[in-house]
Amino acid sequence: MTTTPPPQTPEPSKDASPSILLVDDDVTLRERLARALRERGFDVRTAGSADEAMEQVRADSPEMAVIDLRMPGRSGLDLLRDMREHDPATRVLVLTGYGSIATAVEATKLGAEGYLPKPVDADELLAAFAKNGPQPAPDHFATPSLARAEWEHIQRVLVDCGGNISEAARRLGIHRRSLQRKLQKYPPAR
């Protein structure tokens, strides 16, 4: 009878490693984060769309998930809603390159623990997951610029319309193509 010798360096067993699901349509970012988290001892799974992610969640629900807000097909908020219905214990962070207060509030209402702007690295993700309990409110809030206030208003209306650009444009009183051009731009810094 032959037995295999134990590994020279102790490695955490797959069951002992915290599981994390990375959902992002940006392959480069997704794989870079996956590699960095694996190096830190996590059991990492990846998905490029909301539907692919839900297949993995149904097969084996992760302890943590990092979801991109904007992906082809269903949005990250739709995925967050479905994941919370399937397993409310999964801790979720939302990532976006197009952040707004309206989508951050919506993500929080749906059960996300945090909301981070892209680009992000593994240490920032882990720090966001490590935060426990409510964070203290800042002493003061900076007044947003007119461009930022417009961006926030557009995002709030878009969320109210369920992501329907034509309906949001109608409510805002602008042409649909004008709204699409505004949405393609990055949000103003302040």
- CATH number (3.20.20.150, 2.40.30.10, 3.30.70.980, 3.40.50.2300) of 19-130 reads 3.40.50.2300
What is the predicted pLDDT for the residue at 135?
42
Q: CATH 3.40.50.2300: which residues of the chain? A: 19-130
| CATH architecture for residues 146-184 | Orthogonal Bundle (1.10)
What is the predicted pLDDT for the residue at 7?
40
What is the predicted pLDDT for the residue at 74?
85
Q: Could you tell me the mean pLDDT of each successive run of 10 residues in the chain, 190 residues long?
A: 44 63 86 89 89 89 88 83 87 78 76 80 84 47 72 80 89 91 76
Q: Quick check: 101 and 155 in contact, CB under 8 A?
A: yes
Q: CATH 1.10.10.60: which residues of the chain? A: 146-184
Q: For 71-88, give the secondary structure using H, E and C.
A: CCCCCHHHHHHHHHHHCC
Q: At what angle do helices 176-184 and 165-172 cross, to 10 degrees?
A: 110
Where helices occur in 5-140 by DSSP H, the ranges are 27-39, 50-59, 76-86, 101-109, 122-130
